[in-house]
Amino acid sequence: MNSLTTSTLAALEEMLQNAKRNPSSDCLPVYFEKIYVGNISRPLISAVEDLLKHGSFSHIQMDITRIILKNAPPAQLSDNLRALANGLHQLGLIPAWRNEEFAWYGSDGHEYFRVERAAFRTFGFRSQAAHINGYTSAGTLWLGRRSESKQIDPGKLDNLSAGGINANETVVHCAIRELWEEAGVPQGIAQQINPAGTLVIHRPHPPHGIHHEMLFMFDLEVPRNLVPVNHDGEVSRFIELDLAEAAARILADEFTDDAAMVTADFILRRNR
């Protein structure tokens, strides 16, 4: 494949426009005071209600219309959310537990709470991730195929590297760390990443909940003598594709949702 058709580019554009989907009417909204921050699915509501009723949760309230997180000191609200998430996990209601925390940031840039990363999807909280498009001077893209042992999207195609930004790191630190761990890109090369914008994805992701994430995108030209090598066991192999073949695989649903969006954005930027 050597060329991208007008219909293919239009399909990629439409996919990006549909990156955000409204939550189902079966979801119960979650608010941080008066700010809408997430949703939980109907099957979890009774369990959350029971845990809140029988536990000590001074900073979380619930009624028939919503869950409200109070504007308490972040450490105190985080402790309440950890206890609630742990309770749901013990009931088998939060899959893919990672023992790693994500932080939630307000529009002012401040962190207001943090909790187990898997619970972010359970509650529909907006997380953050760094994704790196690895391209070559020949106009190809390096893509990783996720390990079959991954709890989420095993075997799907992904960007050269990508990963959630944990509560104790910056966006750039995460990008450089993931480039080494997932693709073996040395720091001297990884530091050449070029910011390429952001995307927000918001869609149901059963049984994990709602995938609501801010994707920080970067582009990196990969030297022709550098072949990506995985170090952390999360990637089974890498493949190098031209943009038309990458687009075809996006439309054939071979990518993770977020990597599809990031790769589509790269392809469209290169064809404007």
Domain locations along the chain: 6-21+127-269, 27-123
Output the pTM of the full model: 0.92
Residues 6+ apart with CB under 8 A from 59: 69, 70, 72, 76, 77, 80
The model's confidence at residue 40, banded by pLDDT at 50, 70 and 90, is: very high
Report the chain's mean pLDDT, rounded to a whole number: 94
CATH superfamily of 6-21+127-269: Nucleoside Triphosphate Pyrophosphohydrolase (3.90.79.10)
The model's confidence at residue 1, banded by pLDDT at 50, 70 and 90, is: very low
Q: Specify the fold of 27-123.
A: Transcription Regulator spoIIAA (3.30.750)
pLDDT per position as a tens digit, 88-114:
999 999 988 999 999 999 999 999 999
**Rounded mean pLDDT of 158-166?**
97
Quote the longest CA-to-CA distance of the chain. 62
Instruction: Say yes or no: do domains 6-21+127-269 and 27-123 share a fold.
Output: no
